[in-house]
Amino acid sequence: MRLVSWNVAGLRSCLKKGFADFFSRINADVVCIEEAKLTEEELEYRPEGYEIYLNPAEKKGYSGTLIYTRIKPLKIYYGMGIEEHDQEGRMITLEFNNFFLIAIYVPNSKRGLLRLDYRMKWEDDFYNFLHKLERQKPVIFCGDLNVCHQEIDIANPESNKRSPGFTIEERNKFSRILNSGYIDTYRYQNPHKRIYTWWSYIGNARERNIGWRLDYFVISQKLLPYLKESYIYNGIYGSDHCPIGLDMEMN
């Protein structure tokens, strides 16, 4: 089973930069999209053989998540069921026979950490949501988590201690999830590899590989026996993020 996640920074824009070609070549069973930035009426890319689930933000042209899946889910959940969070379209959860899959776009704390307090509330509510699902069956969650967990995950750790995405508060929230029974699949398989999934458009950052690893596939420890390979497709362009992938030995 192959899963892919990509923050496309606007699907309509990414479609002009090779998204459909990548989608066809990668031949994934499930593709999760963050920052789709469109409504149902604006969603034109509808590949044959895939069910499509979209959770748009109330604010037009902002945020939004989208899932293409060949495997029909048992149930679909949009958001966390908390109005404060759900108006931004940041989560879709699919229930399959053996696990839940969450596509997620975690809120950015914003320049000056103006939204850090909200981010902390969001993290606590997501943690509770995650463990509520876990009591039923194992979970895979993926997407732009807007956090570099360790210094190896960011090109310039010393100068970014209070930058959104690398504050100790955000990193500790992610540590709490991992310590409660979850695995960062890429770091598990590549403990010493320095690789990134996001680069600023400023200063030729991508060409210089001055980046951040913000995108993850995280799995319940119960699913570890089924883990085959976790990927970062850092040679794929079309967004300021690159796609990531996960192969699992399961249906």
| Catalytic residue numbers, as ranges | 105, 144
Residues 173 and 130: their CA atoms lie apart, in Å, by 13
Q: Where are the alpha helices (DSSP H) in the chain?
A: 11-15, 19-26, 83-86, 116-134, 168-179, 185-189, 205-208
| Residues linked to residue 217 through DSSP beta bridges, in sequence order | 142
Count Cβ atoms below 10 Å from residue 216 Cβ, excluding itself: 26
Beta strands, E only, the chain: 2-7, 30-34, 51-55, 65-69, 75-78, 91-95, 100-105, 139-144, 182-184, 198-199, 211-212, 215-220, 227-232, 244-248
Angle in degrees, 0-180, between the axes of helices 116-134 and 168-179, rounded to the nearest 10: 0
Report DSSP state, residue 41.
Answer: G
Contacts for 13 with CB less than 8 Å, ≥ 6 apart: none
Amino acid at 100: F
- Distance, in Å, from the CA atom of 11 to the CA atom of 19, rounded to the nearest integer, reads 8
Question: Up-side HSE of residue 77: CA atoms within 13 Å toward CB?
Answer: 17
Please give the helix or strand (H or E) that residue 15 lies within, else none: helix 11-15
What is the sign of the dihedral through the CA atoms of 155, 156, 157 and 162?
negative
